[in-house]
Amino acid sequence: MPSDPMPRFAVLGQPVAHSLSPRIHRRFGEACGIALDYRAIELAPEALPARLAAFHAEGLGGANVTLPLKELAARACRELSDAARLSGAVNTLIRREDGWLGDNTDGAGLVADLRRLGVRLAGARVLLLGAGGAARGVVPALFDAGIASLTVANRTAARAEALAHDLQSCGDIATCGFEALAGADGFDLILNATSAARSGRALALPATLPAPDAAAYDLSYGETAQPFLAWAASAGIARAADGLGMLVEQAAEAFQRWHGVRPDAAAVLAELRAERV
Domain ranges of the chain: 8-104+247-275, 107-242
What is the model's pTM? 0.93
* Class of the CATH-defined domain 8-104+247-275: alpha beta
**252 an active-site residue?**
no
Cα angle vertex 64, ends 62, 69, to 5°?
120
pLDDT band, residue 2 (cuts 50/70/90): very low
- Does the annotation place 20 within a ligand binding site? yes
String of b and e for 60-93 (b: at least 16 CB within 10 Å)?
bbbbbbbbbbbbbbbebbeebbebbbbbbbbbbb
Alpha-carbon torsion angle 144, 150, 156, 157, nearest 10: 120
- Does the annotation place 221 within a ligand binding site? yes
Rounded Cα distance, 88 and 103, in Å: 10
- Does the annotation place 118 within a ligand binding site? no
Rounded Cα distance, 214 and 210, in Å: 6
Q: pLDDT tens digit string along 210-245? A: 999 999 999 999 999 999 999 999 999 999 999 999
**Are 276 and 43 contacting, i.e. CB atoms less than 8 angstroms apart?**
no
- Does the annotation place 61 within a ligand binding site? no
- Does the annotation place 137 within a ligand binding site? no
pLDDT band, residue 198 (cuts 50/70/90): low
Catalytic entry in 70, 93, 136, 138: 70
**Are 224 and 20 contacting, i.e. CB atoms less than 8 angstroms apart?**
no
- Does the annotation place 17 within a ligand binding site? no
pLDDT band, residue 133 (cuts 50/70/90): confident
Q: Interhelix angle for 244-259 vs 265-275, to 10°?
A: 140
- The reply to whether 107-242 shares the fold of 8-104+247-275 is yes
Rounded Cα distance, 161 and 177, in Å: 10
Query: Which CATH number among 1.10.530.10, 3.40.50.720, 3.40.50.800, 3.40.1000.10 corresponds to the domain 107-242?
Result: 3.40.50.720
Say yes or no to pLDDT of 199 above 70.
no
Q: Can you say how many angstroms the Cα of residue 185 is from the centroid of all Cα atoms in its chain?
A: 25
Total residues found in the chain within this entry: 277
In the chain, the N- to C-terminal Cα span, in Å, equals: 48
